Amino acid sequence: PAAVSSARRKLIPILSDSNIQLESVEMEQRLGGGIFGDTHLAKWNEMTVTVKRLTIAIHNNQLTSETMDWMKEEVWF
C-alpha cells in the first residue's frame, strides 16, 4: 500500500546518485534472482539490508535510460 511505502521511505534518507563501497557490504544469503539480477541479504553499517546485484548491464549494455528509470521507481526502503 502507498501509506506503507511512504512510511518506509522516511526511515532512511534517499540517496540519489550515491555509491556505496563494495568493501562496506557483507553479502549473505541469496534470496532469489531474475532477469535483472540477484537479490541477497547483506550487512551494511551494522544494518541488515537487501542488495540487488544487477546483471542486465553485462548483456551487451542492454540497460537503457528508460529501464534505469523504471528500476529506480521499484526501489523502496
Render pLDDT for 28-50 as a digit per residue (tens, 0 to 9): 999 999 877 899 999 998 889 98
Contact 74, 53 (CB under 8 A): no
- Domain at 50, CATH number: 3.30.200
Closest among 65, 62, 17 to 35, alpha carbons compared: 62
Distance, C-alpha 47 to centroid of its chain: 15
DSSP state of 71: H
Counted domains in the chain: 1
- For residue 69, what pLDDT is reported? 77
- For residue 7, what pLDDT is reported? 53
Range of the domain at 24: 2-74
Distance, C-alpha 41 to centroid of its chain: 11
pLDDT of 74 above 50:
yes
Tell me the pTM.
Answer: 0.53
Q: What percent of the chain has pLDDT above 70?
A: 61
Q: What is the chain's mean pLDDT, rounded?
A: 74
Please count the other Cβ atoms lying within 10 Å of the Cβ belonging to residue 58.
Answer: 10
- Distances from the Cα of 27 to the Cαs of 2, 48, 52, in angstroms? 29, 10, 11
